[in-house]
Each structure stands twice: as C-alpha cells, then as structure tokens.
Structure 1
Amino acid sequence: MADNNNNNNNERRRKLAVFAGLLIQQTERKVLSHLFTHSQNVNQAITLACLRKDEKPRIEGYVESVIPRYDPDDFREHFRLSRESFEAVLTLLMECNEIPQPGQDGLRGKMPILIEKQLLIFLWYLGNNETFRSIADRFGVSMSTAHECWRRISKTMVSKMASRFITWPHTQQAIQDTTEGFRQLSHLPSILGAIDGTHIRIKAPRVRPDTYINRKKFPSIVLQGVCNSKMLFTNVYAGWPGSCHDARVWRNSPFYRSRNTTIPDGCHLVGDSAYPLEPCLMTPFRDYGNLNQQQKMFNRELSRARQVIERSFGQLKGRFRKLRDFYADDMELIVDGIVSACILHNICILNAEELVELYDEDQEIDVNDDLMVPFNNHAAGVQRRLYLLNLMM
C-alpha cells in the first residue's frame, strides 16, 4: 500500500514538473514574443525618424516616368516653357559645360544628376510658388540637392547666357529696326527703348530690413527693365531695395553711366513721370490741368510706346510666378533668379511661344505714384522734348 502511495506521489511530482516546464516555456515564449514585437516597433520608429530627418518619403520616377507622358500643353503649364524652348535651353546649358553631370564632380561631393533633371527642378521652382521641401519630394531628391540645382542653373544662365539673349541694339541696322518697331506703336520718333521699374515682393532680409519696405508697406527689390517694341528685354538691372525711387535706381545703374555711348545722338528712351527728363530719356508733360492739346497728344503717343514695358513685366510675372512672391533668404540668388527669368522670357519670345498666363500689373498700384522726381529736369531734356513736340505737329 505504501509503495502505491509512493508511486502516486512520484507520478504527481512528474506531472507537476512537466506542467511547470510547460508554464516556463509559455512564459519564455511570451517574453520573447514581447521582445520581438518591441524590437520591431523600435526598428519602425528608427526608420520613421530617419525618414523625418531626411524630410519625407520621396516620389520616385516623376522625371523618368510621369513627365514623358505630359502632352505639350501639360508640359508648358507645369514648367512655363514649351518642350522646344526647354530643349533649346538645355542644349545651351550643356554647351556651357559649367554644370556637373554623372561621371564628373558631384554636387557638393554627391553623385550629380542629369542636367535635364536639374533644369526641370529650376523651372518648377521659378514657375510655381512652392518651397524647396515640396520640390525635393516631387523630384525625389534632397532639399540641399534641389537648392544646389537652382543655384548652379541660375548662376550659369546669368554668367553665360545673359549677354547673348539680353542685348542692346549696337549696330546701325539693329538701331534702325528698333526705332522702326516703336514707330509702329507711336508717332513719337527715334525711340530706342521703353524703361520702367517693377517691384518683386520678397521676405525682408535680416540685415537692414527697413530699407526694403516700399511705400505700399511690403518688402521688395526693384527690377529695372528696358525693352523694345517686341517686348524683348534689352537691358535689366535688379537688386536695389524697394524703398528706393525708380529715378534713384536709374541714376545708379550701369546703363545710366554708359548712356552717352550706349544711346546714340538723336535717339532716346521713354519712361513715366517717375523718371527725370533728360536728352536720352523722354517723360510726359506733368498734367496740372494746364496742358494744351499738343502736349496732351505728346503724352498719349509717349504712353503708347511706354506701355510695351508694362506688358513685358506682365508676361514675365505671368509666366514665372515666383517673381510675384520671391520668398528666399539668399539675396544674390534672388537677383540671379530674376535675371534668369528675363533671359527665359526673351527665349520664349524669340521662339514665338504662346503665353500661358498674363499677370495684370494694374493689380499692383505703382509704388512710385504721385511721388515727385527727386532730380531736376535736364535743361537739354526740356529742349529735346519741345523739339519732338514740334516735329510731331
């Protein structure tokens, strides 16, 4: 009997041992499962943190797969140039041999991307009001790479292409063609260009921000432009703070310093009342209610010729939306971007490219309205204007 009890006890102990072992195994499995799950969560957290650190997940294949499927209208709507103009600019940039490509030195030590992709990034930034963060996401690159593409393309265009596409009529034939073109717009003779200034809204810089606040109380820089009758820019000058009057920008521009050799005798520019009257720059008679019919006629004819520069600015800002609100920190890159836009504007006109959108400059009241010119009219300019007035009679 005692032996049976011992056997039963032993059997009971064995079963308890087996049961305890099973409990231990189950506990170990639960612990291991918990640790594995925790490890996965940690890995996912690390991955998400890395993605956040590198902005956000990027879109792959936009340049390689999506853009080739755009029809001509879609391409022009997105990049503000036709495919033909894009290919022409791309060829010019490649001929400059200034921008690294795969197989050459990279962007700040990184593997460079194709010039075609760099140009697309540049055009997207110039033609749309988007940040480098969203552009980097769209084109599948880092923010630093997108910014570097912008810097390289704009620098190359300004240094290598500006003198080719923003040209002043120096030859006798070019001067004759230009004055004849204005003759089709106005009865005022001998016009070699229309001049005006437009304000590019910017983010106020950290250094002396007050100097960039214009009369309409927003920060800007001034773009001074001269164009011909075809709305081609023949001279541009950008970078002066928005608080500066158009006349001051004109008097401090390189074009003004070379005006005696640049503008031949007998020819002149036309500008609005914000500019001083000089032999090389005709402005309208100020209307205080005492103008005679001949003076009013002179003003009308001058206005017909001068409106071409307003339309040029309207096309420029209509095509390249970044020029409406150019919020960036690097002032030098802003100026390069503005000049680059003027170059592309001329290329589009030379290619007879249809405008996608026209920006109405009338929406922006001239910040120089009703300001008196801070310079006295040139006596020779007064005599020149009277001569032209009598010539038109």
Structure 2
Amino acid sequence: MAAIQRIVVLNQRRRRPRSHLVYVRYYIRENFSPLATMSEDTIQKKFRLPRQQIQQLLDLISPDVSRQTRRNYPLSPEIQLLAALRFYAVGSFLEVVGDGYGLSKTLVWRCVRSVTNILLRHATDYIRMPSARHEVMEAHQSFHAIAGIPQIIGLVDGTLIPIANPSALNQAFICRKGFAAINVQVVVDHRGMFADVVAKWPGSAHDSFVWANSVVGEDAERDSGYPLRTYLLNPVTNRTTRAEENYNIAHIHTRNLVERSIGHWKMRFRCLHKSAGGLRLKPERCCAVAVVTAMLHNIAVSGGAALPEEEEEEEEEEEEEEGVHNPPQLRDALHAAGVQKRQQIIHNVFG
C-alpha cells in the first residue's frame, strides 16, 4: 500500500512541471496584450498603424476570429491581428514573424489567412471612388490646385507585386522585368488614398488590358499604355507647341501623386516590395493581401500614421505600345474624341 502511494506521489510530481507550462502557455495566449505594453511610436513602427486604428480593426475582426471554447488554448484576436499586421509590415518569412510572439510558422499562416479573409470582406468600405457630388467637386478642386488640369477625379497607374511561390512560376506570371509578379492597377484620389484596386491579373498582363477589363475602365480600349479618351487623359507624345509642353509638365506634376502613393504603400507594407523577396503565398492569396494592404494604407493615411524612416523610390518603367482590340473604326472614333477633349484643355488652360 505504501508503495502504491509513493508511485502516485511521484507521478503527481512529474506532472507538475508540464501543468505549469500549459498554464503559462494558456495565460500568454489569452491575456498577453502587446498593445498595452508598447508606446505609440513602437506600435506604428512595428505595425504601420496608430493604436486607435488597430483597436478599430480589432473590434471589426473579433466576432469572426474569437473562439467559442478554450480548447487547445486559442490565440486571442489581438495576437492574430498583430501577427498578420507584422507580416504585412515586414514581409519576412512566416516563422520569423512568429518568433516575436512564440508562434509557429503554421500558426502565423493561419493568422494571416484568417485576418486577410475577414478584412477583404470590408475592403469596399474603405476603397471606393468618389460618388457624391461634394466628393467629386472636392476631387476636381484639389487636383486642379496641383497643376491646373480641370475635372480630374482620380489618377490611374499599374504596379508589379513580386511573388515567390514556386508553383506560380510559369510564363503567365513572369513580368516584363523578368520576375514572377501580379499586375495591380490602382486609382488614387487627391488625398493619396486608393479609390479603386484591381488585383487579379498575372505579371505578364499589359496595363491597358487590366484597365480595359476593370470596372472603372470596362468601356475603354488601348492605343498605348493607357488609351486617350474623353475621360482618360495621357501626355502628348509628339509635342509641337509651347501649350502642349506646358500641358505635359502639368500632367507629370499631377501624376506624381499616384507614383508617390504607390511608393508609400510599399514602404508601409514591405511584403509588397521587391526587397522582401516576394510574397510567399499562393497567387490568389497574394491578390487578397494586395487589396487588404491598400485598405490598410487608406486607414493609415486617414489616421495620420507616419511613414517608415527608410524610403526607397519604386521605379516603374513605361509600357511599350501594343496592338488594339477594338475595331479600327470604333478605336479611331474614341481616340479622336479623346484628342479633341485634350486639345480643348490645352487651348483653354495652357494656351
């Protein structure tokens, strides 16, 4: 009898260390709050968003990521959100992101997947074209104040998001620069925020193809990188007058806003930048991350978040002219209307 009691006591002693570790693991997952221990500067440096905006995102995703039971000691919504934001911010390997929170690569991947899917459902609440009359008028006035071009509602451009998933390395994803990527089209408003994002085409897709198959440009076809239409103005290729030269200068000054916005977007969320080595996710996940980070960029701009200290300019090459898809008669008519509209602006504003 004494021997049996001794064995029971020894077994209890052996279980104590494990029980203690399990309790500590549970406590950290359920109660540890990095936001409560970090300064505002540290939070913005690590996650690219102010504390208040992160808390709003936490309120947004909590109903969907909270677990109804404590089985397997689930991660708190805050840890899941911060793991995803950290991945967006640094674009490092998933296991490196997890090291900061004691998470495995698998757990970080689950956090990124869950948070991305949830935020994607809310993207249209933060990414939208001006529609109300006062919004359109504000855009017209703000863009006109840059360089004098009237009636602008947004600036369109394309950018390449590198990807590093071996399964995606086929010719469709190889861009003109020789690496695997997705071609993302953005429309930027006068505040430097994204009004529209199209992220679904491989890197080999031409900018004008993406434009022609987007909602905002579905009725347009191309003559060069982007078509000249009554609603889409591009520079004058062969300048012959001083007024045309002035118009091109104004066009460059205005277009700088979309280029800066793309640069700031990739600075905030280095997972999109080529220096991070490419997104190590499936192509469809990469597209979702692009849209979600554009949404977060808008939140950061509206919240006055500071940019990261180290800035690298993103260089974009001009597209070469390619063929057209519209019948020649329709294409020529649309182009002629665009030329007439552009000439009116040149004559009335810059002449």
Aligned counterparts of 1:385 and 1:165: Cα–Cα separation in 2: 32
Aligned counterparts of 1:65 and 1:346: Cα–Cα separation in 2: 25
* Matched residue, 1:344: 296
Aligned counterparts of 1:228 and 1:178: Cα–Cα separation in 2: 7
**Code of the aligned partner of 2:56:** A
TM-score (norm 2): 0.81
1:356 aligns with 2:298: no
User: How large is the RMSD of aligned CA atoms in angstroms?
Assistant: 2.6
1:300 aligns with 2:262: no
Is this contact kept in 1: 2:160–2:183, CA < 8 A?
yes
Count of equivalent residues? 312
- Runs of at least 4 residues of structure 1 off by over 6 A? none
Q: Give 1:189 deviation, angstroms.
A: 0.2
Is this contact kept in 2: 1:182–1:191, CA < 8 A?
yes
* Matched residue, 2:98: 136
1:216 aligns with 2:167: no
Is this contact kept in 1: 2:208–2:224, CA < 8 A?
no
Please list, as runs of the form range in 1=range in 2, the aligned pairs for 1:223-238 lying within 5 A after superposition.
223-238=184-199
Aligned counterparts of 1:208 and 1:111: Cα–Cα separation in 2: 38
* Matched residue, 2:234: 283
Aligned counterparts of 1:359 and 1:323: Cα–Cα separation in 2: 14
Q: Looking at CA atoms only, which structure, 1 or 2, has the larger radius of gyration? A: 1
* Matched residue, 1:114: 76
Aligned counterparts of 2:54 and 2:261: Cα–Cα separation in 1: 20
Any gaps of 5 or more consecutive residues in structure 1? 1-57, 260-270
* Matched residue, 1:69: 37
Pair 66,354 (structure 1): closer, same or farther in 2 beyond 3 Å: closer
The C-alpha deviation readout for 1:324-371, integer Å capped at 9, x for no partner, is 143323111111111110001001111122222464334x342x44x1
The C-alpha deviation readout for 1:70-89, integer Å capped at 9, x for no partner, is 22212211111121221122
Give 3-state SS (helix, strand or coil) of 1:311's partner.
helix
Please list, as runs of the form range in 1=range in 2, the aligned pairs for 1:1-393 lying within 5 A after superposition.
64=32, 68-94=36-62, 97-99=63-65, 101-104=66-69, 111-159=73-121, 161-203=122-164, 205-206=166-167, 209-257=170-218, 274-287=225-238, 290-324=239-273, 325-357=277-309, 359-362=311-314, 364-366=315-317, 368-369=318-319, 371-375=320-324, 378-392=335-349, 393=351
Any gaps of 5 or more consecutive residues in structure 2? 1-24, 325-330
Aligned counterparts of 1:272 and 1:92: Cα–Cα separation in 2: 43
Aligned counterparts of 1:171 and 1:231: Cα–Cα separation in 2: 19
Q: Give 1:303 deviation, angstroms.
A: 1.5
**Code of the aligned partner of 1:81:** L
Q: Give 1:257 deviation, angstroms.
A: 2.3
Aligned counterparts of 2:28 and 2:299: Cα–Cα separation in 1: 29
Aligned counterparts of 2:83 and 2:100: Cα–Cα separation in 1: 9
Aligned counterparts of 1:213 and 1:372: Cα–Cα separation in 2: 19
Pair 244,204 (structure 1): closer, same or farther in 2 beyond 3 Å: farther
Q: Give 1:110 deviation, angstroms.
A: 5.3
Pair 201,162 (structure 1): closer, same or farther in 2 beyond 3 Å: same
**Code of the aligned partner of 2:127:** I
**Code of the aligned partner of 1:178:** A
Aligned counterparts of 1:110 and 1:383: Cα–Cα separation in 2: 67
Q: Higher relative CO (CA 8 A, sep ≥ 6), structure 1 or 2?
A: 2
